[in-house]
Amino acid sequence: MGVLALASPAAADIYVFADARGGMHFSDMRLHEGYRLYRPTVPPVVRRGGRPRVQRSRRAWDGVIAWAGKSHGVSPGLVKAVIHAESAFDPRAISNKGAQGLMQLMPGTAQQLGVDDPFNPWQNIEAGVRYLSSLIERFDGDLSLGLAAYHAGERTVRRYSGIPPYRETRNYVRRVLTLHRRYDADFR
Q: Give the domain CATH number at 135.
A: 1.10.530.10
Distances (CA, A) of 109 to 4, 99, 130: 21, 9, 11
53 beta partners: 46
Establish if 128 belongs to a structural domain.
Answer: yes
pLDDT of the residue at 24: 67
Cα separation, 29 vs 103, whole angstroms: 27
Which residues carry out catalysis? 86
State pLDDT tens for residues 4-29.
444 444 445 677 777 766 666 777 78
Of residues 60 and 112, more confidently modeled = 112
Q: Which of 73, 77, 99, 92 is nearest to 152 (CA)?
A: 99
Establish if 159 belongs to a structural domain.
Answer: yes
Give the global pTM: 0.73
The whole domain housing 134 covers: 58-187
Q: What percent of the chain has pLDDT over 90?
A: 65
What is the total count of domains within the chain? 1
Cα separation, 78 vs 65, whole angstroms: 9
Establish if 153 belongs to a structural domain.
Answer: yes
Establish if 12 belongs to a structural domain.
Answer: no
Establish if 72 belongs to a structural domain.
Answer: yes
pLDDT band at 188 (very low <50, low <70, confident <90, very high): confident
Establish if 177 belongs to a structural domain.
Answer: yes
13-22, 43-52, 155-164: least confident range:
43-52
pLDDT band at 119 (very low <50, low <70, confident <90, very high): very high
